[in-house]
């Protein structure tokens, strides 16, 4: 049912479904989750991988909020060598497409990871530009358009693999960052990463200072996609607060070519099935590409 | 694991803010002692994890204490209501046969131990169950399996020995294996004082996915001479006590 009308091209990547698992939500794709229909997923984005292993943050790492959750995992991961040697070959057959999310603490780390991934069969590299301590400064790469440009450019020069730039919404003008990403050679944009937030655990008298996700950030994600769609030509993966079919439609209508499922999976175990079914019903005889950006317009002179 | 919709059979107040929830077992997969379920609560974003206290072909029971908005909403579920549940999740207690077994716990921590005691009873004659509570009303006699030696303690002395269950346990010895769950203080004392025999503990934590995907519920675990964060939901909730680096 509806296999064809949900096919979408994301730059050069052909997806059977516009539903993508966002980074951090499904580990490295090596856990078997029996109730998920893998055929209805276009691609998995792995949890972010770094050059050396990272231990991640101490507890508390997660906390529920009124309309979502905050996480502060701290990019715990076993490093690129372990991933390539022990995980990648195991997940390759299971997933239609694999997007590998990476980040680095400096330019060299980005280049070193890319050199390793160039030898592997992966479908795209997603650059997590929200790593908080790049070059030991208290800022994210994607909070600075020049730095965003520089990092994407050096990665671009190292690889012919499709590049996805994942951008933080915690900026004055996300359009600037998106334009810099496109100019530097990004093929696709992922919008948005989590929104900075904080919660208090009264019982433990502790704070959790991290990234907010869930329905509370959907309006922020929609606004970012809406604004960015007007000023770039490259496709956008819309992410943020999707928990049901109608949410995905909203992202398509303002310019997303695909949608990323995040913590919505934790609240709705049937989310993939529901979105897939809803999209088919909503589209009727139309193809997905007919509704992308329907409620938006490209700027004539960006 | 599976995602099933299960009908509530009963949701009974055991004492004060403690409840026993029983629901129809629609799961095809078998549950083992230590496994947990992840239950969706209406209008809350994250599911809530609960250890299984009783498992049979037809029904599953959990025991919970109302401590926040999630468990409060759960306590209002009635017979005939439906629950969206993921399970079985997590690892389970390793099994021993023909041993002198100690089971020790308190509070809602006794839930997985009840399931465990029932299973161990099939293969072991000598099982000692140390059960600690604040007072007599918080000992749930009605759900304890028979054919096991119980040793009770209460903080106020209203039933069994007066004092902490760990102090009572210390006077006994020559066990082959220890299984524990409950307050972190008890688990810390057990794992730091018992070195010669295996101590298996079930630990708790806040969870988001419950399925090993998000790395939110980690605990420090020794790895050779180093340590790393392991997931309570996937690598646990049962760990060998000596592996844990308490914080």
DSSP state of A85: I
Of residues B2, B46, B213, nearest to A64 (C-beta): B46
Q: Which of B39, B54, B89 is the last residue of a domain?
A: B89
Q: What is the pLDDT of residue A138?
A: 73
| Chain B residues touching residue A24 (CB < 8 angstroms) | 214
Q: What is the pLDDT of residue A299?
A: 72
Annotated domain spans of chain A: 8-290
Alpha helices in chain B (DSSP H): 69-75, 110-120, 165-170, 184-193
Q: What is the pLDDT of residue B44?
A: 97
How close, in Å, is residue A242 to chain B by CA atoms?
12
Phi and psi at B2, nearest 5°, equal: -125, 160
Asked if residue B221 and residue B118 are part of one domain, the reply reads: yes
Domain coverage including residue B61: 2-89
Q: Taking the domain A8-290, which CATH number applies?
A: 3.20.20.70
Closest CA to B125 of B162, B98, B150: B98
Measure the CA–CA gap between B145 and B141, rounded to whole angstroms: 9
Query: What pTM does this model have?
Result: 0.95
Active site residue A224: no
- Residue B234 contacts residue B92 (beta carbons within 8 Å): no
Q: Given CB atoms, is B84 within the 8 Å cutoff of chain A?
A: yes
Structure tokens at B99: 């041993």
Phi-psi region of A2 (alpha: psi -120 to 50; beta: other; left: phi over 0): left
Helix/strand/coil for B40: coil
For the cut 60, the answer to whether the pLDDT of residue A143 exceeds it is: yes
Structure tokens at B95: 């099994």
Residues, chain B, total?
A: 247
CATH at residue B73: 2.40.30.10
What's the mean pLDDT in B215-220? 97
Tell me how many residue pairs between chain A and chain B have CB atoms under 8 A apart: 87
Measure the CA–CA gap between A275 and A197, rounded to whole angstroms: 28
What's the mean pLDDT in A278-284? 95
Of residues B1, B209, B215, nearest to A56 (C-beta): B215
Closest CA to A79 of A117, A99, A52: A52
Task: Decide which of A137 and A39 is more confident.
Answer: A39
Interchain CB distance below 8 Å, A69 and B208: yes
As beta bridge partners, residue A14 has: A9
The interface residues of chain B toward chain A in range 146-205, judged by CB-CB distance below 8 A, are 205
Say if B7 falls within a structural domain. Answer: yes
Say if B8 falls within a structural domain. Answer: yes
Question: Band of the pLDDT at B105, cuts 50, 70, 90?
Answer: very high
Say if B119 falls within a structural domain. Answer: yes
| A235-267 confidence digits (pLDDT tens) | 999 999 999 999 999 999 999 999 999 999 999
CATH at residue B104: 3.40.50.80
How close, in Å, is residue B240 to chain A by CA atoms?
20
């Amino acid at each position: 049912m509806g296999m064809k009308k949900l096919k979408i091209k994301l730059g050069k990547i052909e997806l059977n479904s516009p539903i993508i698992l966002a980074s951090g939500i499904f580990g490295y794709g090596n856990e078997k989750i029996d109730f998920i229909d893998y055929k209805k997923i276009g691609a998995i984005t792995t949890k972010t991988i770094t050059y050396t292993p990272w231990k991640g943050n101490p507890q508390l790492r997660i906390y529920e909020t009124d309309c979502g959750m905050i996480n502060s995992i701290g990019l715990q991961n076993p490093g690129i060598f372990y991933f390539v040697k022990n995980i990648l070959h195991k997940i390759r057959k299971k997933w239609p497409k694999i997007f590998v999310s990476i980040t680095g603490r400096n330019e060299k780390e980005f280049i070193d990871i890319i050199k390793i991934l160039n030898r592997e069969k992966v479908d795209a590299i997603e650059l997590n530009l929200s790593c908080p301590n790049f070059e030991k400064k208290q800022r994210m790469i994607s909070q600075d358009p020049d730095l965003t440009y520089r990092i994407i450019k050096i990665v671009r020069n190292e690889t012919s693999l499709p590049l996805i730039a994942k951008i933080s919404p915690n900026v004055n003008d996300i359009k600037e960052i998106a334009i810099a990403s496109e100019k530097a050679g990004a093929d696709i944009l992922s919008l948005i990463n989590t929104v900075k937030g904080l919660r208090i655990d009264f019982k433990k008298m502790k704070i959790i200072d991290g990234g907010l996700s869930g329905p509370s950030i959907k309006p922020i994600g929609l606004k970012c996609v809406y604004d960015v769609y007007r000023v770039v030509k490259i496709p956008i993966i819309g992410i943020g607060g999707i928990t049901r079919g109608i949410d995905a439609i909203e992202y398509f209508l303002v310019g997303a070519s695909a949608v990323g499922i995040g913590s919505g999976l934790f609240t709705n175990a049937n989310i993939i099935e529901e979105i897939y079914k809803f999209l088919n019903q909503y589209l009727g005889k139309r193809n997905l590409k007919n509704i992308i950006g329907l409620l938006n317009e490209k700027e004539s002179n960006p | 694991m599976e995602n099933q919709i299960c009908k509530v059979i009963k949701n009974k107040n055991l004492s004060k803010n403690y409840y026993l929830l029983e629901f129809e077992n629609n799961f095809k997969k078998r549950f083992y002692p230590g496994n947990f379920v992840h239950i969706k609560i209406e209008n809350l974003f994250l599911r809530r994890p609960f250890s299984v206290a009783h498992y049979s072909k037809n029904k599953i029971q959990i025991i919970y204490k109302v401590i926040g908005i999630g468990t409060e909403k759960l306590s209002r579920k009635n017979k005939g209501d439906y629950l969206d549940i993921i399970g079985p999740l997590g690892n389970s207690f390793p099994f021993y046969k023909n041993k002198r077994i100690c089971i020790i716990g308190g509070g809602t921590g006794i839930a997985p131990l009840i399931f465990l005691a029932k299973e161990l009873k099939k293969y072991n004659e000598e099982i000692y169950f140390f059960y600690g509570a604040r007072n007599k009303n918080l000992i749930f006699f009605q759900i304890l399996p028979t054919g096991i030696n119980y040793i009770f303690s209460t903080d106020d002395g209203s039933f069994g020995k007066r004092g902490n269950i760990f102090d009572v346990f210390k006077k006994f010895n020559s066990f082959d294996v220890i299984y524990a769950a409950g307050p972190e203080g008890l688990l810390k004392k057990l794992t730091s004082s018992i070195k010669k025999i295996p101590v298996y503990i079930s630990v708790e934590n806040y969870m988001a996915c419950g399925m090993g995907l998000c790395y939110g519920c980690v605990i420090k675990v020794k790895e050779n001479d180093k340590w790393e964060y392991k997931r309570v939901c996937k690598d646990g909730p049962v760990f060998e006590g000596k592996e844990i680096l308490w914080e």
